[in-house]
Amino acid sequence: MALTKGIYILYYNKGLFPEQQKQKVMLSTVNKVYVIASRQRRGDVTKTAENTGFSPSYVSRVFRGLRNNETILSEGYRISSRRMKNVNPNQA
């Protein structure tokens, strides 16, 4: 799947016909920015910049929500999606 296609989540619906059981729903830009921000680690901006060919400063702006670039968000989401959320020591 190409990066420009976006990230999809599969929902499984019971009781439907077999061809209708899987529905692809694309995550919104806001959801991707939230997931990236809540799971970001040191080096993620550099790694995403190297993988996509954009500058680290532009990737940082996209991660902060100041710019919109689906390729960068998809790559950042792919890198950070399977991690646990960061723990805020002030809330613990």
For residue range 24-63, list pLDDT tens digits in order: 677 888 989 988 988 999 999 999 999 999 999 999 999 9
Instruction: Please answer whether residues 69 and 62 qualify as being in contact, where contact means their C-beta atoms are separated by less than 8 angstroms.
Output: yes
Specify the pTM: 0.67
Q: How many C-alpha atoms does 7 have within 13 Å on its Cβ side? A: 21
Helix, strand, coil percentages (3-state) for the chain, rounded to 5, are: 50, 10, 40
What are 52-91's pLDDT values in tens digits? 999 999 999 999 999 999 999 999 999 998 888 877 777 6
